[in-house]
């Protein structure tokens, strides 16, 4: 029997279920492309779009204000912050490679869910290749259970999810020119084939 996609919801569903998705077979469902039956979020919950001629290696798309996409773009060679809008390529046939970025509080996770649903609905056409979602801690320490469950649900709707480390220095000012890549970001950069900006 085929796996159920966690993003296919009945049109009459009033709100997302914060319960974790538990796959019925040995492996989890991995969503790698838009899925039939996923409804587009309401207009108020969709991200804007803009045309770009940029050839960024990868776009960090903050799904809400203060997500952390600018900090990530300053750490990785060839990447750019998309702000809070889908970067739609001006040249057909060359999709923008995008990673969503969200904080781990309820508003951030919900915004990430809306963005993932928008992509999964197919409404972006072939203009975006979604690589995944980076969750940036909104405070140090372990997430409360309800937020962990919501984060797990949201992760079920994107190809891959990474959790960035808490970087206390980022609370007090911009990145230091000589700062090294935080150790917890190594797997993210490796998985996405990114190179850190030289700080020497």
d(C-alpha 113, C-alpha 177), whole Å: 34
User: Nearest-CA neighbor of 200 among 176, 165, 184, 170?
Assistant: 176
Write down the CATH number for the domain with range 45-167+182-191.
3.40.50
Mean pLDDT of the chain: 86
- For residue 4, the model assigns a pLDDT of 58
Domain ranges of the chain: 45-167+182-191
DSSP single-letter state for residue 93: T
d(C-alpha 181, C-alpha 198), whole Å: 9
* pTM as predicted: 0.84
- For residue 45, the model assigns a pLDDT of 97
- For residue 178, the model assigns a pLDDT of 64
pLDDT average per 10 residues of sequence, the chain (200 residues): 54 43 48 90 97 93 95 93 95 92 98 98 95 96 96 96 91 73 92 86
Task: Give residues with Cβ within 8 angstroms of 177, minimum separation 6.
Answer: 199
d(C-alpha 34, C-alpha 60), whole Å: 19
- For residue 26, the model assigns a pLDDT of 44
- For residue 188, the model assigns a pLDDT of 96
- For residue 171, the model assigns a pLDDT of 82
Task: Give residues with Cβ within 8 angstroms of 179, minimum separation 6.
Answer: 169, 199
E-strand ranges in 66-199 read 79-81, 86-89, 96-103, 128-136, 161-163
């Amino acid at each position: 029997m085929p796996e159920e996609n966690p993003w296919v919801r009945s049109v009459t569903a009033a709100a997302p279920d914060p319960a974790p998705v538990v796959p019925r077979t040995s492996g989890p469902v991995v969503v790698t492309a838009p899925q039939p039956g996923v409804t587009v979020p309401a207009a108020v919950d969709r991200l804007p779009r803009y045309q770009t001629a940029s050839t960024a290696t990868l776009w960090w798309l903050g799904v809400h204000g203060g997500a952390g996409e600018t900090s990530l773009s300053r750490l990785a060679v060839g990447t750019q912050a998309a702000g809070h809008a889908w970067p739609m390529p001006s040249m057909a046939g060359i999709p923008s490679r995008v990673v969503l970025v969200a904080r781990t509080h309820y508003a951030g996770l919900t915004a990430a869910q809306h963005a993932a649903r928008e992509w999964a609905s197919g409404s972006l056409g072939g203009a975006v290749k979604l690589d995944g979602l980076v969750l940036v801690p909104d405070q140090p320490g372990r997430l409360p259970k309800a937020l962990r469950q919501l984060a797990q649900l949201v992760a079920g709707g994107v190809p891959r999810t990474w959790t960035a480390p808490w970087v206390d220095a980022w609370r007090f000012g911009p990145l230091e020119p000589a700062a090294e890549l935080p150790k917890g970001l190594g797997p993210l950069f490796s998985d996405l084939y990114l190179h850190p900006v030289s700080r020497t």
